[in-house]
């Protein structure tokens, strides 16, 4: 199979003018060295969308959208990656060369694509049957009318009806025993012992019985953001359990990643700059029918970090709408934990609790869209919800109650990235628990735990080992970092994130670091570890890679979603010398944290021998050296 070489992508991005590409869709005005305009990815009145001709990136400080000229054609215009490259190459007068995959790898990828097409086709065939059956079912139509769903809304969301027949899909799939029906989640398969066979575990298994998964249910097609039908939800009309039934996990469908209504509502979400997260399919449909068309629903699962990350790609604010009962409060707490790592000065989250007698569906029908909009406007900001959550049921007028509140706050604040918002929340918490802000900051620092044993440390590579097979490893300068450093359990994730952002923006700085500095970055436990390991491999193999080409390499390796939180937007105006200074400062802070961790281990062990005491003193000397030498940023 032919591929577009990485070197060509880099040359192409170096030739095209991102200001010209973006300027065809966005009115841009010069603002210093960059250009500024209204973001095309979400609704805003004050421009926060920046295009950097020097770095060849666009970045929105409102919703976090970030990318290259290729990315803009993909995300805004809707082109595929190959089509975006062809479009830019044509404009630049360049001919795309092609390289070949390893034949076996190409064959595997083509087989995967072919299987995906087969699964998608099966889903669409089933959906056509369900929709046709809805038109013929007076019972299902009466139910939807009773719920206030119009024919227009049913058509917009593609609602259908699965008849009570155990093998009703056989009418459109003559080969009902085909594996694809099980692999797509349309048919349940069981073996001779009566065990259900999961779609991903079908290969080589003997199926004893098969039947339609959805029977006697209204069907709700679930589409991904590209509009592909990847799963179904089904609801019983009367009494019955489960009330809702979703497709199982398949090669197409992962319920912890998908949101019902996102495909239908993404345009409205971008216009409003806000996504409303509700709990049910009918909530989404009812709200849309009343003009509130920026709602989505999770699929029978708690909100996940992936749900939050996906929504923040389309807007700058998420409002979670829950029932006001205990179950709703519990769901809101889970959503809070999923959202905390992704909020900041440009991304906000709110929580809406409706009166106990209402859900979004019943509320909008009884009181109308304007009343619902007022409720959304009164939604509680994440900061207040978090502070109320940690204080709930505690007597903050007692030392014991305040101590318990701090204990509850510690894991939650540990999830928050450093930002002005976090600082403000810290100040509010300190006031509530009558503790000085500085002391509160130290109290909420996650404690070090789970350090590797000596035997485990012996199994770790020494400081030089990771580069022993790479060019010029023996020539890299060394620092006094001890050779058997246990992994640092990420007490200061801000510094990891800073380092990754700087390296994404100025990849050449990777080669200015010593082997020990590389180790400090690579031997970390945390969300950035996989990206740092990827950076090491990519930059050692391609030392001349530019920032924009590096960003597109993330896309090629399916890491772009993971890297979105590390987009270096706020660093676009920073000069190379300043970036280098910040990078050294971040790595130095990581080393300081490691030293303090190691000293704590030695102290807890009692400094039982001269070797431990000498190591402690050496670490103290290094800590003092760092405090004097680290650049002030």
H-assigned helices in 276-325? 281-289, 305-312
Query: Is residue 611 pLDDT above 60, yes or no?
Result: yes
The whole-number pLDDT of residue 491 equals 38
Sequence ranges of the chain with CATH classification 3.90.580.10:
2-99
* Predicted structure pTM score: 0.67
Q: Output the CATH code of domain 454-629.
A: 1.10.860
> Each residue of 178-216: pLDDT tens digit?
999 999 999 999 999 999 999 989 988 999 999 999 999
Average pLDDT across the chain, whole number: 85
d(CA 588, CA 611): 25
Query: Is residue 286 pLDDT above 70, yes or no?
Result: yes
> Each residue of 410-438: pLDDT tens digit?
999 988 887 888 889 999 999 999 999 88
Sequence ranges of the chain with CATH classification 1.20.50.20:
388-443
Pick the CATH number of 262-378 from 2.40.160.20, 3.30.1340.10, 3.40.1360.10, 3.40.710.10: 3.40.1360.10
d(CA 42, CA 37): 12
How open is the CA angle 361-362-368, to the nearest 5 degrees?
Answer: 90
Q: Which fold has domain 105-246?
A: DNA primase DNAg catalytic core, N-terminal domain (3.90.980)
Sequence ranges of the chain with CATH classification 3.40.1360.10:
262-378
Average pLDDT over residues 522-547: 81
Is CATH 1.20.50.20 the classification given to domain 388-443?
yes
> Phi and psi (nearest 5°) for 118?
-65, -45
Query: Is residue 481 pLDDT above 60, yes or no?
Result: no
The whole-number pLDDT of residue 102 equals 63
The whole-number pLDDT of residue 151 equals 94
Percent share of the chain, pLDDT over 70: 90
> Which comes out higher in pLDDT, residue 103 or 436?
436
Contact 156, 135 (CB under 8 A): no
Instruction: Name the CATH architecture for the domain at 2-99.
Output: Alpha-Beta Complex (3.90)
d(CA 270, CA 63): 9
Residue 3 pairs with which residues in a beta bridge? 99
> Each residue of 287-309: pLDDT tens digit?
999 999 999 999 888 899 889 98
Sequence ranges of the chain with CATH classification 1.10.860:
454-629
d(CA 121, CA 128): 11
* β-pair type (217-223, 57-60): unpaired
> Each residue of 9-61: pLDDT tens digit?
999 999 999 999 999 999 999 998 899 999 988 877 889 899 999 889 999 98
The whole-number pLDDT of residue 416 equals 87
Q: Which helix (H) or strand (E) holds 438?
A: helix 437-443
Sequence ranges of the chain with CATH classification 3.90.980.10:
105-246
What is the pLDDT confidence band of residue 515, given thresholds at 50, 70 and 90? confident
């Amino acid at each position: 199979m032919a591929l577009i070489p990485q070197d060509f992508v880099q040359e192409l991005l170096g030739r095209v003018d991102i200001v010209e590409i973006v300027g065809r869709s966005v009115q841009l005005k010069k603002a210093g060295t960059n250009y500024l305009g209204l973001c095309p990815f979400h609704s805003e009145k004050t421009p926060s969308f920046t295009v950097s001709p020097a770095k060849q990136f666009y970045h929105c400080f409102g919703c976090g959208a970030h990318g290259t000229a290729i990315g803009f054609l993909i995300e805004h215009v809707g082109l595929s990656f190959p089509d975006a490259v062809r479009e830019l190459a044509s404009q630049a007068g360049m001919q795309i060369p092609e390289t070949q995959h390893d034949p076996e790898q190409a064959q595997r990828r083509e087989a995967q694509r072919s299987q995906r097409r087969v699964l998608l086709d099966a889903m669409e065939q089933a959906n056509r049957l369900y929709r046709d059956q809805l038109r013929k079912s007076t019972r299902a139509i009466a139910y939807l009318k009773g719920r206030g769903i119009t024919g227009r809304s049913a058509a917009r969301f593609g609602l259908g009806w699965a008849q009570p027949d155990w093998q009703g899909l056989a009418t459109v799939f003559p080969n009902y025993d085909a594996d694809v029906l099980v692999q797509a989640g349309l048919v349940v398969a069981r073996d001779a012992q009566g065990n259900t066979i999961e779609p991903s575990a079908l290969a080589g298994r003997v199926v004893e019985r098969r039947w339609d998964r959805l029977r006697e249910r209204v069907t709700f097609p679930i589409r991904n953001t590209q509009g592909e039908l990847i799963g179904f939800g089904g609801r019983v009309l009367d009494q019955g359990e489960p009330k809702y039934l979703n497709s199982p996990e398949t090669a197409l469908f992962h319920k912890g990643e998908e949101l019902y209504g996102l495909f239908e509502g993404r345009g409205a979400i971008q216009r409003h700059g806000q996504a409303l997260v509700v709990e049910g399919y009918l909530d989404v449909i009812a709200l849309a029918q009343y003009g509130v068309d920026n709602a989505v629903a999770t699929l029978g699962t708690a909100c996940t970090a992936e749900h939050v990350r996906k929504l923040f790609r389309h807007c700058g604010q998420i409002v979670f709408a829950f029932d006001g009962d205990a179950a709703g409060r519990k769901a809101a707490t889970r959503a809070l934990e999923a959202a905390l790592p992704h909020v900041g000065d440009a991304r906000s989250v709110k929580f809406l609790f409706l009166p106990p007698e209402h859900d979004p569906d019943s509320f909008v029908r009884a009181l109308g869209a304007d009343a619902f909009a007022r409720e959304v406007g009164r939604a509680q900001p994440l900061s207040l919800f978090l502070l109320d959550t940690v204080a709930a049921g505690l007597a903050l007028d007692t030392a014991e109650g305040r101590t318990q509140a701090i204990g509850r706050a510690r894991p939650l604040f540990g999830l928050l990235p450093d930002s002005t918002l976090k600082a403000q929340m810290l100040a509010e918490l300190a006031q509530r628990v009558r503790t000085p802000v500085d002391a509160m900051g130290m109290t909420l620092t996650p404690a070090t735990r789970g350090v590797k044993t000596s035997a485990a440390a012996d199994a770790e590579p020494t400081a030089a080992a990771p580069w022993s097979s790479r060019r010029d490893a023996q020539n890299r300068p060394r620092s006094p970092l001890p050779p058997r450093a246990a992994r640092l359990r990420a007490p200061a994730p801000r510094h990891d994130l800073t380092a990754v952002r700087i390296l994404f923006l100025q990849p050449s700085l990777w080669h200015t670091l010593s082997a020990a500095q590389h180790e400090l970055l690579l031997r970390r436990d945390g969300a950035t570890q996989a990206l740092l390991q990827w950076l090491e491999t990519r930059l050692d193999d391609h030392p001349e890679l530019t920032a924009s080409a590096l960003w597109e390499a993330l896309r090629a390796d399916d890491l772009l979603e993971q890297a979105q939180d590390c987009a270096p937007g706020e660093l676009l105006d920073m000069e190379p010398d300043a970036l280098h200074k910040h990078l050294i400062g971040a790595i130095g802070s990581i080393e300081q944290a490691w030293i303090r961790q190691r000293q704590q281990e030695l102290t807890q062990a009692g400094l039982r021998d001269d070797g431990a005491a000498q190591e402690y003193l050496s670490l103290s000397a290094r800590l003092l050296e760092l405090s004097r030498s680290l650049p002030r940023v």
